[in-house]
Structure 1
Amino acid sequence: MARFVSPLSAVLIYASIKAVGLVVLAFWSHTQQKSALHLLSRRWDSLWYARVAEHGYGFTLTAPDGRELSSMAFFPLLPWLERAASITGLTFGQAGLLISAIASVVAALGLFHLGRHVHSPQAGTLLVCLWASLPVSIVQSMAYSESLFVALAAWSLYFLMQDRWVAAAGLACAAGLTRPVGVAIGIAMCTHALARLRHADSRARILTSCALSLSGTAAYVLWVGAQQGTFVGYLDVQAAWGNGFDAGYSFARFLGEFISPAPVLTAVLLLAIIALTATPHVMMRLRGYPPALIAYSAAVTAMAMGASGYFGSKPRLLVPAFPLLLLVAIALQRSAKPYLWIAPLVVTSALYGAFWLNGSGPP
């Protein structure tokens, strides 16, 4: 295993895992008489990002039930980059694929360095392998914003661990313009600042960095509010899409309906969800993880599990919760042949990703 501990080897392993998934997707799509390229770049959220890149934020779609779905639900950094990349002659969807491909490699490199900083180079490499072989990791290759966000988040947290406040804050601001969960990085920075302010001489720089880290999300949410004519305009836009936050109640009720609609069962499932999301973070605290990393992971997990929207997308919403995978990476490192555990995950991820994208529902 010692030979798989460099940044280059981590990136090459990541690229190899992604290549397996794309080959399986291409073959599966061919058997279904579908285009893998179309599935990756011209369906679901990728269409909305492309519309924003091409037309700005004036587009709305009337759902069959009468709801007005606005493109303002989608944060602007990916569409901005797609528009910039389109000057090369690429379509907006193709530009999104290129951005995701580059960002996913940058994300893998950031995860390696973060894992190495927190534990060891081996843990960093295994963290990359686990992130690449998530069941829903096919989104890392789609014209979606997950790869871009994780690239920004991983490097921001890595710089934060080194007290490089300005770099961490700048990347956090950009992440906040990519997905609403960017606020989790701001929470991480504020958590890290609480420990540093008592001993640091540059308190103004730390406080300014914390404010900057939250400014991306805040700026976009306030802009949407101004466009909607109400301070809570962004929440109204999300509500039209069926999205909100209810601390997991809707998710517990959704799960309970498969067994029994009894309120007691819903309450039990809700408590179980809370316990399942809290347990790994308690373990991280007991094992001495940096508080900022725990805060980030807890915020991402809470926002994903507590969302009241489309429940099939929850695994995708957890893709940025990569600190949870570090627990598994460290455990695998202690085994005699850790990469033997990765191989079946890679195969499962490739098969599930191909099945998922060729299905009828959005990821």
Structure 2
Amino acid sequence: MTDLDTRAPGARAPLVRRAAPALLGYAAVRALGLLVLVVWSAAHGKSAHTLLTARWDALWYTRVAELGYGYEVRLPNGDVHSNLAFFPLLPWLERGLHALTPLSYADAGFAVALLASLAAAAGIFAVAEHVYGSRAGVCAVLLWAVLPVGIVQSMAYSESLFTALAAWALYAVLTGRWVSAGALAALAGLTRPVGAAVVAAVWVAGAVSFGRARSAPTAHGARIDGHAPARERCARAGSAPGPWGAAERPGAPHWRRALGMTLAPLGAAGYVLWVGHRTGRGPLGYLDVQAGWRNGFDGGYAFARFVAAEFTSLPSALAGAGLIVAVALLLWLYVTGIRQRQPVALLVYTGVVLALALCASSYFGSKPRLLLPAFPVLLPLAVALARLRTSRSALVTAGWAVASAVYGAFWLNGSGPP
């Protein structure tokens, strides 16, 4: 795949300027989604503001920000829903913004989500541009914006915040900024349980980097295995950069990689151990909390049973078939990324996100939004879209944006949580 930005690195504009078209397009798509949600909700006698800021998980995050941990709900069937299931970074940010501004806790969460979604879009652009070029970077951002469940990116949920931290952590890995990668991975681990995916990406990429540094000398301007620089090889061979994406800098000290890998798990490990101490169950305490929500990892057995149960009547059978097609498409895109030789950090991260989302025994209606952070799976589609003429790719994106806005409004106005 040819890098569409052929200027010398020294002549390139700053990243924020290169990302501007992607960010403007992203903001337009999200504004359309919010507008359609407001109109749809008003027509059905509901408040779009409440749907975005004070229902479902958003309400739990707000309670943590306002009252701290310790709140729980006991259901008639004996299940216990504890707010210890919700990681603390988003509530901390809500509390801080509420203290500094006139915003309520709920509105502070909404503001954090909006800002984080823009940061996530910029991070997705940075990753995609680094691997495939600027045009593909813009397309990747727009594809993430027009996902059917893209409205979640504008809710007071933690998906946008997590995706922003994950994307920039992956970019830091790809560009050899190991300490930054580790710090961002630690913050991602304080945001959602799937922060384990970012930690795994940093560890595997770091281990590969250490191994290569030991096995081959570093040549100035070349990959450490003696091949041509990643961008030059990408243009010549029609593939993405190799497993570490030309991330190594000549003479980069090993201690930076080691420090980054050490920092990466501290956020998730720290919170899980704190929950274990608070519940008196040690390292198993957080698993007990998740079990109270009927969340667990069963290798996809519960999800398979759910899909199989759909084939009991014609209408539900169509939904079941749609689920199978969607999962098959996700797996095909992931395999395509492997064939395109995406950097190993992206492949590890995406694989763990997909596994945790598809193989967990959680509420099935939430699985689409749990897949939102798996943005690298969109890169093969972004490459294909970037090959089209601008007018055609813009038409395709606009059509998907309208469909996404309508579906998002319908989805949030439904009975169940996203």
Is 1:42 aligned with 2:54?
yes
Is 1:152 aligned with 2:204?
no
Q: Is the 8 A contact 2:330 2:377 kept in 1?
A: no
| 1:67 aligned partner | 79
Consecutive unaligned residues in structure 2, runs of 5 or more = 6-16, 215-251, 314-321
Q: Is the 8 A contact 2:178 2:259 kept in 1?
A: no
Q: Is the 8 A contact 1:61 1:70 kept in 2?
A: yes
Cα RMSD (Å) of the superposition?
Answer: 2.2
Shift of 1:277: 5.1
Is 1:229 aligned with 2:242?
no
Aligned equivalents of 1:250, 1:317: Cα separation in 2: 16
Is 1:323 aligned with 2:373?
no
| 1:52 aligned partner | 64
Is 1:217 aligned with 2:268?
yes
Identity %: 50
| 2:246 aligned partner | none
* 3-state SS of 1:69 partner: strand
* 3-state SS of 1:11 partner: helix
Letter of the structure 1 residue corresponding to residue 92 of structure 2: W
| 1:109 aligned partner | 122
Task: Tell me the TM-score normalised to structure 1 length.
Answer: 0.93
Please list the CA deviations of residues 31-90 of structure 1 after superposition, one character each: whole Å capped at 9, or x if unmatched.
011111111000000000000001111101112322111000000000000000001121
Shift of 1:190: 1.2
* 3-state SS of 2:296 partner: coil
Aligned pairs for 1:143-222 (under 5 A) are 143-198=156-211, 199=213, 202-222=253-273
Cα 1:288–1:308 shift into 2, 3 Å? same
Aligned equivalents of 2:33, 2:323: Cα separation in 1: 34
Letter of the structure 2 residue corresponding to residue 194 of structure 1: A
Consecutive unaligned residues in structure 1, runs of 5 or more = 262-268
Letter of the structure 2 residue corresponding to residue 104 of structure 1: S
Q: Is the 8 A contact 2:337 2:379 kept in 1?
A: no
Q: Is the 8 A contact 2:333 2:378 kept in 1?
A: no
Aligned equivalents of 2:182, 2:264: Cα separation in 1: 4
Aligned equivalents of 2:327, 2:397: Cα separation in 1: 28
Aligned equivalents of 1:184, 1:292: Cα separation in 2: 10
Please list the CA deviations of residues 191-216 of structure 1 after superposition, one character each: whole Å capped at 9, or x if unmatched.
11122103176333322311211111
Is 1:356 aligned with 2:411?
yes
Q: Is the 8 A contact 1:86 1:95 kept in 2?
A: yes
Is 1:27 aligned with 2:39?
yes
Aligned equivalents of 2:289, 2:157: Cα separation in 1: 20
Task: Tell me the TM-score normalised to structure 2 length.
Answer: 0.81
Shift of 1:274: 8.1
Shift of 1:332: 1.1
For residue 96 of structure 1, the aligned residue among 82, 103, 109 is: 109
Q: Is the 8 A contact 1:277 1:302 kept in 2?
A: no
Rg larger in 1 or in 2?
Answer: 2
Q: Is the 8 A contact 1:249 1:306 kept in 2?
A: yes
**Greater Cα shift, 276-285 or 188-197:** 276-285
For residue 126 of structure 1, the aligned residue among 130, 135, 139 is: 139
Aligned equivalents of 1:217, 1:272: Cα separation in 2: 33
Letter of the structure 2 residue corresponding to residue 286 of structure 1: R
Aligned equivalents of 1:48, 1:318: Cα separation in 2: 21
Aligned equivalents of 1:240, 1:56: Cα separation in 2: 19
Shift of 1:257: 1.1
Q: Is the 8 A contact 1:252 1:273 kept in 2?
A: no
Q: Is the 8 A contact 1:249 1:270 kept in 2?
A: no
**Greater Cα shift, 269-278 or 189-198:** 269-278
Shift of 1:17: 0.4
| 1:301 aligned partner | 354
Q: How many residues align?
A: 355
Is 1:259 aligned with 2:272?
no
Letter of the structure 2 residue corresponding to residue 168 of structure 1: A
Q: Is the 8 A contact 2:166 2:184 kept in 1?
A: yes
Is 1:343 aligned with 2:398?
yes
Aligned equivalents of 2:151, 2:333: Cα separation in 1: 24
**Structure 1 stretches of 4+ moved >2 Å:** 200-205, 269-282
Shift of 1:272: 9.1
| 2:227 aligned partner | none
For residue 7 of structure 1, the aligned residue among 16, 19, 37 is: 19
Shift of 1:186: 0.9
Please list the CA deviations of residues 195-238 of structure 1 after superposition, one character each: whole Å capped at 9, or x if unmatched.
21031763333223112111111111111111111120101100
Aligned equivalents of 1:270, 1:248: Cα separation in 2: 13
* 3-state SS of 1:99 partner: helix
